[in-house]
Amino acid sequence: MQWTDQGIVLGVRKHGESSVILELMTHEHGRHLGLVHGGRSRSMQPVLQPGNGVQATWRARLDEHLGIYHVEALEMRAAHFIGSPLALYGLATLANLLRYLPERDPHPALYETLTVLVDHLDDPDLAPALFVRFELAMLAELGFGLDLGSCAATGTRENLAFVSPKSGRAVSAAAGEAYKNRLLKLPGFLIGQTRANRPRSAEVREGFALTDFFLHQNVFDPRGQAAPEERARFVALATAEED
């Protein structure tokens, strides 16, 4: 068995004296592990840092085996992330969330979303809103996608302002006014209602509150798990600037 694919490094763990087990999120083969001989060498350690983009060739005698990776660097992003707590907390959160996906299950659309996010993860103007969109994409890939295209009550696509916590569908301002204390806010940047390049901090907070609710309801709580601590730290940094 052999394939070659692009991937983003999620993490490594030591294996023996000089090797590592590398965890990648790949374009065509999903979250995939493999052994890298000499992965702890001085030449390979900089390549195998979380967030880096690589081209990986995986080989194994049988598909169910761990297999061996041969890895070449494509995007050496990690060096730019060292001085950015926002990026470092973001990387840790991304790896944690992606581990909820079944190993070796392909998610090419999610990979594309991840790539855009990682390319801008140290940019405080772009990363927060991109991260909210990534979490929505994660929910969709796990089977819990939200329907933000039209009002659940009236079918209108205009003036959408809320999300139903029960159905995960959008609700218009008029239809939701009487129930707004029981609904989640729908930030305008998620439905193209924000003209500015960077959403206001209040909108970003609403976006994270939205994804937080559905991640807890559908992903964390059913497994008896807490949200990753790094996510709370990332959100705090991402929403710290006042409008």
pLDDT digits (tens, 9 = 90+) for 53-91: 999 999 999 988 999 999 999 999 999 999 999 999 999
Q: How far is CA 61 from CA 22, 25, 129, in A?
A: 18, 22, 43
Residues 96 and 51 in one domain: no
Q: In what order do the strands lie in the sheet with 160-163?
A: 147-151, 169-172, 160-163, 184-185
- 222, two tokens: 């059913």
Residues 227 and 128 in one domain: yes
- % the chain with pLDDT above 70: 97
Label residue 49 by pLDDT band (50, 70, 90). Answer: very high
- Name residues whose C-beta falls within 8 Å of residue 179's C-beta, 6 or more positions apart in sequence: 162, 171
| C-alpha to C-alpha distance for 139 and 218, rounded to whole angstroms | 8
Label residue 125 by pLDDT band (50, 70, 90). Answer: very high
Residues 161 and 218 in one domain: yes
Residues 65 and 88 in one domain: no
| C-alpha to C-alpha distance for 181 and 176, rounded to whole angstroms | 9
For the chain, the domain total comes to 2
Q: Pick from 52, 76, 100: which residue ends a domain?
A: 76
| C-alpha to C-alpha distance for 169 and 145, rounded to whole angstroms | 9
Residues 144 and 66 in one domain: no
Residues 99 and 217 in one domain: yes
Helix ranges restricted to H, 120-172: 127-141
Say whether pTM exceeds 0.85. yes
The residue to which tokens 């807890």 are assigned: 216
Residues 104 and 56 in one domain: no
Q: Pick from 46, 76, 106: which residue ends a domain?
A: 76
Residues 68 and 179 in one domain: no
Report if residue 243 sits inside a domain: no
Q: Please give the distance of CA 195 from its chain centroid, rounded to a whole number.
A: 24
Label residue 198 by pLDDT band (50, 70, 90). Answer: confident
Hey, how many other C-beta atoms are within 10 angstroms of the C-beta on 44?
A: 19
Label residue 242 by pLDDT band (50, 70, 90). Answer: low
Label residue 194 by pLDDT band (50, 70, 90). Answer: low
**Full domain range(s) for residue 70:** 2-76
pLDDT at 192: 84
With b for 16 or more beta-carbon neighbours within 10 A and e for fewer, the 186-218 pattern comes to: bbbbbeeeeeeebbbeebbbbbbebbbebbeee
Supply angle C-alpha 142, 148, 153, rounded to 5: 120
Residues 42 and 71 in one domain: yes
Residues 118 and 198 in one domain: yes
Residues 193 and 96 in one domain: yes
Q: In the 3-class helix/strand/coil scheme, how is 78-125 assigned residue by residue?
A: HHHHCCCHHHHHHHHHHHHHHCCCCCCCCCHHHHHHHHHHHHCCCCCC
